[in-house]
């Protein structure tokens, strides 16, 4: 994913490794774009800075924190 295609407020997926080395995708929202791309991961109290190569518009693996709307 190219950095120029990412906008503040976009909902993306962080493709990473979870427990026991299992590949997972985490739903997140872009909050800042600079040297790094800063996102807020749903269900996480901390902010994370990521590389564009770790993000995608669609999940690559099982999403473990998908936000459910009521």
Determine, yes or no, domain membership for 13. yes
Determine, yes or no, domain membership for 67. no
Determine, yes or no, domain membership for 61. no
CB 24 within 8 A of CB 13: no
Determine, yes or no, domain membership for 37. yes
Domain range for 10 is: 3-56
Q: What is the CATH number of the domain that holds 9?
A: 2.30.30
Tally of domains within the chain = 1
The pLDDT tens digits for 14-54 are 999 988 999 999 999 999 988 888 888 887 767 677 778 88
Using the structure block, give the residue that is written with the tokens 């996480």: 44
- Of the candidates 27, 47, 23, 26, the residue with the CA atom closest to the CA atom of residue 37: 47
CB 63 within 8 A of CB 13: yes
CB 38 within 8 A of CB 31: yes
Residue 56 is predicted with a pLDDT of: 94
């Amino acid at each position: 994913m190219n950095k120029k295609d990412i906008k503040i407020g976009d909902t993306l997926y962080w493709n990473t490794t979870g427990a026991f080395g299992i590949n997972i995708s985490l739903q997140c929202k872009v909050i800042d774009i600079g040297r790094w791309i800063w996102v807020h991961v749903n269900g996480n109290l901390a902010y994370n800075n990521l590389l564009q190569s770790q993000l995608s518009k669609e999940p690559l693996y099982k999403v473990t924190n998908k936000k459910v709307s009521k």
